[in-house]
Amino acid sequence: MVSSNIRMEDVLKGRLTSVIIFIQNEADSCDELYLISKHTARQ
């Protein structure tokens, strides 16, 4: 019973981590696009 609970927690933590990484990657690419558009707008 305990081992299955731990496994479930690991799965949830793993999913959470991958979701957080995905969001951070999305935010990074949005920042880059924003900076590029700002830079081209100045020119």
DSSP string, 1-43: -HHHHHHHHHHHHHHHHHHHHHHHHHHHHHHHHHHHHHHHHH-
The pair of three-digit structure tokens given for residue 43, joined into one six-digit string: 């020119």
Identify the pLDDT of residue 1: 55
Model confidence over 1-43: pLDDT tens digits?
567 777 888 889 999 999 999 999 998 888 888 888 888 887 6
- Total-model pTM: 0.53
